[in-house]
Chains A and B, each alone.
Chain A
Amino acid sequence: MSARLASRFDSEPLIRLAAAAAFLLVWQIGAGLAHSRLLPSFTAVLRAMVLETLSGALPWNLAITLGRVAAAFTISLLLGCALGIAMGRWRRLDLLLDNAVTVLLNLPALVIIVLLYVWFGLNETAAIAAVALNKLPSTTIVLREGTRALDPTLDEMAVSFRMPRWRVLRHVVLPQLVPYIFAAARSGLALIWKIVLVVELLGRSNGVGFQIQIYFQLFDVTMILAYTLAFILVVQLIEWGALQPLELWTTRWRR
Chain B
Amino acid sequence: MLRLHVESKSFRTAAGGVLPVLGQIDLTLGRREIVALVGPSGCGKTTLLRITGGLDPAFEGTLAWAAGVMPRIGTVFQEPRLLPWRTVWQNLLLAQRSANLKLASDLLRTLDLSGSRDAYPGTLSLGMARRGAIARAFAIEPDLVLLDEPFVSLDPEAARRGQALLLEAWRARPTAALLVTHDRAEAAALADRILLLGGTPTRVLEEVIVAARARRPAGEIS
Binding site for B on A (CB under 8 A): 153-154, 156-157, 159-163, 167, 171-172, 175, 253-254
Among A156, A161, A162, A254, residue most surrounded by chain B Cβ atoms (within 10 Å): A161
Q: Given A167-B94, A253-B120, A254-B122, are A153 and B81 neighbors across the interface (CB < 8 Å)?
A: yes
Interchain CA distance A161-B83 in the complex, whole Å: 13
Cross-chain pair count, CB within 8 angstroms: 40
Across-interface contacts of B86 in A (CB, < 8 A): 171, 175, 253
Across-interface contacts of A154 in B (CB, < 8 A): 81, 83
B44 touches A (CB below 8 Å): no
The answer to whether B75 and A161 touch across the interface, beta carbons within 8 angstroms, is yes
The answer to whether B81 and A157 touch across the interface, beta carbons within 8 angstroms, is yes
Interchain CA distance A190-B94 in the complex, whole Å: 37
Interchain CA distance A198-B94 in the complex, whole Å: 47
B73 touches A (CB below 8 Å): yes
The answer to whether B75 and A253 touch across the interface, beta carbons within 8 angstroms, is no
The answer to whether B83 and A172 touch across the interface, beta carbons within 8 angstroms, is yes
Chain B interface residue count, Cβ-Cβ cutoff 8 angstroms:
21
Looking at chain B's contact residues, the main secondary structure is loop
B55 touches A (CB below 8 Å): yes
B53 touches A (CB below 8 Å): yes
B40 touches A (CB below 8 Å): no
CB distance from B62 to the nearest CB of A (A): 21
Across-interface contacts of B90 in A (CB, < 8 A): 171
CB distance from A150 to the nearest CB of B (A): 13
Residue in chain B with minimal CB distance to A157? B81
B129 touches A (CB below 8 Å): no
The answer to whether B122 and A253 touch across the interface, beta carbons within 8 angstroms, is yes
Q: Given A171-B94, A253-B120, A254-B122, are A157 and B75 neighbors across the interface (CB < 8 Å)?
A: yes
Q: Which B75-134 residues have C-beta < 8 A from chain A? A: 75, 77, 79, 81, 83-86, 90, 94-95, 97, 120, 122
